[in-house]
Amino acid sequence: MKKYTLIISMILVLCLILCTYNYYTVSQETVTVGYLPTNHDSALFVADARGMFEKEGLHVQLVPFRDGSSR
């Protein structure tokens, strides 16, 4: 009985691994991040200058806004 339980458990684990594979694949899409020209968003510029976004596999485009209602 323990042998069958082990086999069924291994099959379930394998199915879970195969089903979640597409969830963890890296996308090549660009993420657009809007910022206001204030010192509150300086962390964005530091992360961009140090290449932190690329290190994590993110393609980030920084877009300035004049106020909260502009696009």
Q: Is the confidence at residue 49, as pLDDT, over 90?
A: yes
Domain total in the chain: 1
Domain that holds residue 23: 2-64
Q: What is the mean pLDDT of residues 26-55?
A: 85
Is residue 33 situated within a structural domain?
yes
Q: Is the pTM of this model over 0.75?
A: no
Going by pLDDT thresholds of 50, 70 and 90, the confidence category of residue 27 is low
Residue 34 in tokens: 């809007």
Is residue 37 situated within a structural domain?
yes
Task: Quote the mean pLDDT of the chain.
Answer: 82
Is residue 71 situated within a structural domain?
no
Is residue 70 situated within a structural domain?
no
Going by pLDDT thresholds of 50, 70 and 90, the confidence category of residue 29 is confident
Q: Which residue has the tokens 């920084």?
A: 62
Write out the H or E segment, with its range, that includes residue 63: strand 59-64
